């Protein structure tokens, strides 16, 4: 298929887990009514984005949020990029993104590789590593449209990760994210345009809406950039649902006309993923 209809849900999420799921359900229904093929949700939608509270609302892989997302995808016959949730696995907590196919089957799981530990003078202080464990896998999955890559927020600052996804066939990369009022104005659009133009892919960054009553103030501005580095769409800070038709043939045209991926000097340098198995201490 040459065209995909992508819906971005920049949701304003408050209250209990049930209230958050109710809001997501209503917005996903609206997206499905607009014939979206793929619906995308923001980072950490199942609770507040606060490192000291992640353990409070973390859920196991097949817990209530996972089941909710799977059922939504199946009910509306859509691909659903379920943003990310705080995922509990034994004594560890991950920032984990799930994707479900049209039948509700899990198509991809990505645990955030790079944890957001920053101390910006006069700006943001945040340490995800106080609560979270980093993942260790590069995530690419197949759809009837194209191969897609998946990463989370701070992962977008690492160009090596995007190139690894592209080397595994990705033509569209999904990024549930929650940049803040320090990093958002400075780097949000810049990063998404740069990752798109460097790798000749579509980049889809989906943020929560800005909630000034919350402890963490998201930048919002959910964005789509195309393989030429152009901004196809960018929202403001408020809650919004937007559906876009993306021409996937543009990826092939750009790569044929400006074949930078083919022009790499593999005789001088190369990038490769290091395969590793997770190890746990003996009980």
Residue with tokens 């580095």, as numbered in its chain: 229
Catalytic residue, chosen from 112, 128, 151, 171, is: 112
153 tagged catalytic:
yes
16: buried, middle or exposed (CB in 10 Å: 19+, 13-18, 0-12)? Answer: exposed
Counting residues of the chain whose pLDDT is more than 70, the rounded percentage is 94
The b/e string for 175-201 (b: 16+ C-beta within 10 A; e otherwise) is bbbbbbbbbbeeebbebbbbbbbebbb
Would strands 79-89 and 125-127 be described as parallel, antiparallel, or unpaired?
unpaired
Beta bridge partners of 64: none
Per-residue pLDDT at 281: 46
Question: Is residue 127 scored above 50 in pLDDT?
Answer: yes
Averaged pLDDT score across all residues of the chain: 94
Per-residue pLDDT at 101: 98
How confident is the model over 202-230, as a mean pLDDT?
Answer: 97
pLDDT in tens, 8-44: 999 999 999 999 999 999 999 999 999 999 999 999 9
Contact between residue 207 and residue 237 where contact means Cβ atoms under 8 Å apart: no
Catalytic residue, chosen from 43, 59, 128, 239, is: 43
Q: Is the dihedral of CA 187, 211, 8, 177 positive or negative?
A: positive
Question: Is residue 125 scored above 80 in pLDDT?
Answer: no
pLDDT in tens, 47-88: 999 888 999 999 999 999 999 999 999 999 999 999 999 999
Counting residues of the chain whose pLDDT is more than 90, the rounded percentage is 89
3-class DSSP state for residue 64? Answer: helix
How confident is the model over 211-216, as a mean pLDDT?
Answer: 94
Contact between residue 82 and residue 69 where contact means Cβ atoms under 8 Å apart: yes
Catalytic residue, chosen from 153, 171, 203, 239, is: 153
- Reported as a pLDDT band with limits 50, 70 and 90, residue 119 is low
- Reported as a pLDDT band with limits 50, 70 and 90, residue 275 is confident
How confident is the model over 202-227, as a mean pLDDT?
Answer: 97
pLDDT in tens, 137-150: 999 999 999 999 99
CATH architecture of 3-257: 4-Layer Sandwich (3.60)
Q: What residue segments make up the domains of the chain, in order of their start?
A: 3-257
Nearest-Å Rg of the Cα atoms of the chain is: 18
112 tagged catalytic:
yes
105 tagged catalytic:
no
Per-residue pLDDT at 282: 44
Residue with tokens 């973390």, as numbered in its chain: 58
């Amino acid at each position: 298929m040459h065209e995909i209809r992508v819906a971005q849900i920049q949701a304003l999420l408050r209250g209990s887990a049930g209230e958050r799921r109710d809001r997501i359900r209503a917005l996903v229904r609206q997206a499905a009514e607009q014939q979206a093929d793929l619906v995308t949700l923001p980072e950490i939608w199942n609770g507040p984005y606060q490192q000291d509270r992640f353990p409070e609302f973390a859920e196991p892989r097949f817990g209530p949020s996972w089941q909710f997302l799977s059922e939504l995808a199946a009910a509306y016959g859509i691909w659903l990029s379920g943003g990310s949730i705080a995922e509990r696995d034994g004594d560890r907590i991950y920032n984990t993104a799930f994707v479900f196919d049209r039948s509700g089957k899990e198509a991809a799981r990505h645990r955030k590789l790079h944890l957001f530990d920053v101390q910006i003078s006069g700006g943001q202080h945040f340490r995800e590593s106080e609560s979270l464990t980093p993942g260790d896998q590069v995530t690419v999955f197949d759809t009837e449209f194209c191969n897609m890559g998946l990463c989370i927020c701070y992962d977008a600052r690492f160009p090596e990760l995007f190139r690894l996804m592209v080397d595994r066939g990705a033509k569209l990369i999904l990024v549930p994210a929650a940049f803040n009022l320090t990093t958002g104005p400075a780097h949000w659009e810049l990063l998404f345009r740069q990752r798109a133009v460097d790798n000749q892919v579509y980049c889809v960054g989906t943020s929560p809406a800005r909630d000034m009553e919350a402890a963490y103030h998201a930048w919002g501005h959910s964005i789509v950039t195309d393989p030429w580095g152009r901004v196809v769409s960018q929202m403001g800070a408020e809650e919004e649902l937007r559906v876009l038709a993306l021409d996937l043939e543009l990826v092939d045209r750009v790569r044929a006309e400006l074949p930078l991926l083919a022009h790499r000097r593999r005789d001088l340098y190369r990038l490769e993923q290091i395969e590793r198995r997770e190890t746990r201490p003996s009980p």
